């Protein structure tokens, strides 16, 4: 899913889109096609299409975490973590022989000797031991490690700390990103998928404030994340959100004229879909989509069955996730401003934080 959006003019042309999808169909409301949407999309059906990762396909979302009777978020984390406590003791020592294997062929041969913490667009994260300390290690293609370097100087409670980037000039395939290890954490995507309607308003507000605060710190250090989404936000035992995965990030000081976006389409700002250069306001658009997801606990654009359809509607016809007109509030006002088509009209992180002080979700 996370492809480079080159040839964008062709991608947005109706001729490029699937033969099954005529321009009239793309412009129509997803449920106005009669028999095509005769069966109502349910959570169980849509769950198979939630996470856009690679090869322009909708992949299956990780298994849902167990609900508890009280809906207490902290208890949810404890239930999930304790059920997997045994496997979390498997850590791969980053000694010289293991590093050589990782540089040469990635994690494949060593996968059974460690715990996989997550997989994403830019690499696989596993549990390791580095200089005697338990860490999270991401194996990434060498060409994307330059983007990861943007996180090296970031140190903030709402950002997963990148400790080191290990390279070897003798190998041209993989590099290793060493990050802080967060025990018993899960992604915000897993949280939103597993907790149903049982949410505490203060916890939801804390999520929104944490994410915005972390993004504000990135922007104040001239770093654009450009792949902000619930899967790239970890939630720890104290319900603190931490932004991770800087594999698509750029520094504002870089030459962005040749920037190739590899982020996730449903969270991508329309100007990036149109091939324009990124800005801080591109991250703000993604933040707005995340806020909508926190409020409605649904996946954006879940009724559309292809990336091309989403791109065509978002970039060319300003389609956005649907809001309940009978349930509009200050939070709704915030995220609808964040996803404004005109990027210069979108608020900055400081303005959003001020508005969040008065929000009840």
In 3-state terms the chain splits into helix, strand, coil percentages (rounded to 5) of 40, 15, 45
Which residues lie below 8 Å from residue 323, measured CB to CB, with a gap of 6+? 292, 296, 332, 336
Binding-site members for ATP are: 142
Residue pLDDT, tens place only, 338-359: 999 999 999 999 999 999 999 9
Residue pLDDT, tens place only, 92-127: 999 999 999 999 989 988 999 999 998 877 789 999
Please tell me which residue in 51, 190, 210, 227 is annotated as part of the active site: 227
Strand-pair partners of 92: 128
Determine whether 227 is an active site residue: yes
CATH code: domain of residue 163: 3.30.200.20
Are 206 and 251 contained in the same domain?
yes
Residue pLDDT, tens place only, 310-339: 999 999 999 999 999 887 899 999 999 999
Q: Where are the beta strands (DSSP E) in the chain?
A: 51-52, 58-59, 92-93, 116-119, 123-130, 133-141, 162-166, 174-180, 186-187, 223-224, 233-235, 241-243, 250-251
pLDDT for the residue numbered 21: 42
Look up tokens 């690679």; give the residue. Answer: 54
Q: Mark which of 145, 180, 215 sits at the end of a domain.
A: 180
Are 132 and 207 contained in the same domain?
no
Q: 301 versus 61: which is more confidently predicted?
A: 301
Contact criterion met (CB below 8 Å) for 272 and 263: yes
Are 191 and 293 contained in the same domain?
yes
Are 100 and 233 contained in the same domain?
no
In a domain, 173, yes or no: yes
The three-class DSSP label of residue 17 is: coil
The three-class DSSP label of residue 336 is: helix
CATH code: domain of residue 237: 1.10.510.10
In angstroms, rounded to a whole number, what is the distance separating the alpha carbons of residues 160 and 214? 10
In a domain, 26, yes or no: no
Is the confidence at residue 84, as pLDDT, over 70?
A: no
Which residues lie below 8 Å from residue 218, measured CB to CB, with a gap of 6+? 154, 159, 224, 225, 243, 249, 283
In a domain, 123, yes or no: yes
Q: Which structure tokens are listed for 122?
A: 């830019």
Contact criterion met (CB below 8 Å) for 341 and 207: no
| Rg value, the chain, Cα | 20
Bridge-based pairing state of the strands 123-130 and 116-119: antiparallel
What interhelical angle do 201-220 and 349-356 show, nearest 10?
Answer: 160
Is the confidence at residue 150, as pLDDT, over 80?
A: yes
pLDDT for the residue numbered 198: 63
As a whole number, the mean pLDDT across the chain is 80
Cα-based distances in Å from 353 to 209, 213, 347, 357: 7, 7, 10, 7
pTM value? Answer: 0.75
Residue pLDDT, tens place only, 188-201: 999 998 865 566 88
In a domain, 262, yes or no: yes
Q: Which domain holds residue 279?
A: 186-358
Are 166 and 289 contained in the same domain?
no
């Amino acid at each position: 899913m996370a492809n480079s959006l080159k040839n964008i003019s062709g991608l947005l042309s109706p001729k490029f889109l699937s033969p099954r999808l005529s321009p009239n169909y793309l412009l129509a409301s997803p449920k106005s096609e009669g028999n095509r949407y005769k069966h109502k999309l349910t959570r169980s059906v849509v769950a198979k299409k939630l996470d856009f990762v690679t090869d322009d396909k909708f992949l299956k979302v990780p298994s849902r975490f167990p609900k508890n009777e009280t809906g207490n978020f902290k208890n949810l984390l404890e239930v999930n973590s304790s059920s997997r406590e045994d496997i979390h003791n498997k850590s791969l020592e980053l000694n010289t022989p293991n590093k050589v294997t990782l540089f040469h062929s990635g994690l494949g041969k060593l996968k059974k000797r460690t715990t996989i913490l997550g997989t994403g667009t830019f690499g696989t994260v596993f549990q390791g031991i580095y200089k005697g300390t338990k860490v999270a290690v991401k194996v990434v293609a060498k060409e994307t490690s330059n983007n990861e370097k943007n996180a090296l100087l970031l140190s903030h409670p709402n950002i997963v700390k990148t400790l080191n980037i290990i390279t070897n000039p003798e190998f041209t395939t993989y590099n290793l990103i060493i990050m802080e290890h967060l025990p018993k954490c899960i992604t915000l995507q897993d949280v939103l998928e597993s907790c149903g309607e049982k949410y505490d308003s203060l916890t939801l507000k804390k999520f929104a404030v944490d994410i915005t605060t972390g993004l504000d710190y990135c922007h104040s250090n001239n770093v654009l994340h450009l792949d902000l989404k619930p899967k790239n936000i970890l939630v720890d035992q104290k319900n603190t959100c931490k932004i991770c995965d800087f594999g698509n990030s750029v520094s504002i000081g870089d030459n962005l004229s040749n920037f190739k976006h590899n982020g996730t389409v449903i969270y991508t700002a329309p100007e990036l879909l149109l091939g324009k250069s990124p800005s801080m306001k591109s991250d703000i658009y993604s933040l707005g989509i995340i806020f909508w997801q926190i409020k409605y606990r649904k996946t954006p654009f879940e009724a559309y069955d292809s990336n091309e359809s989403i791109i065509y509607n978002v970039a060319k016809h300003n389609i956005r996730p649907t809001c309940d007109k009978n349930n509009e509030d200050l939070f709704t006002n915030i995220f609808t401003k964040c996803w404004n088509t005109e990027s210069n009209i979108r608020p900055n992180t400081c303005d959003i934080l001020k508005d969040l002080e008065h929000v009840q979700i």
